[in-house]
Homo-oligomer: A and B are copies of this chain.
Amino acid sequence: MDENWLPTLQTATPEEGYALAVKLSRMAIKFMQPDAEVRSAMRLMYEYDSEALIAASQTVAEHFSTIAAANNYWK
């Protein structure tokens, strides 16, 4: 794993903040399942599973809340 994969929580725009939230939510899976092949196989399955996608969207929402606060809501 790249030592410097998360240099900052600051982003220029809310879009970048949201993309970072998606990245952070995926990172936990990478920490817990280091094998890239296993992760891709699992992703193929959950991308067609609405329950899994909704659960993943909750993780993104929690991270987006953190990043939005970190950027003072891009005011």
Contact = CB atoms under 8 A, between A and B. Distances in A.
Contacts of A38: 47-48
Nearest to A71: B73
Nearest to A10: B75
A32 B41 CA distance: 14
A36 interface: no
- Count of identical protomers in the assembly: 6
Given A47-B33, A55-B51, A61 B28 contact: yes
The A interface is mostly helix, strand or loop, or mixed, namely helix
Interface residues of A, number: 54
A28 B48 contact: no
Contacts of A3: 15
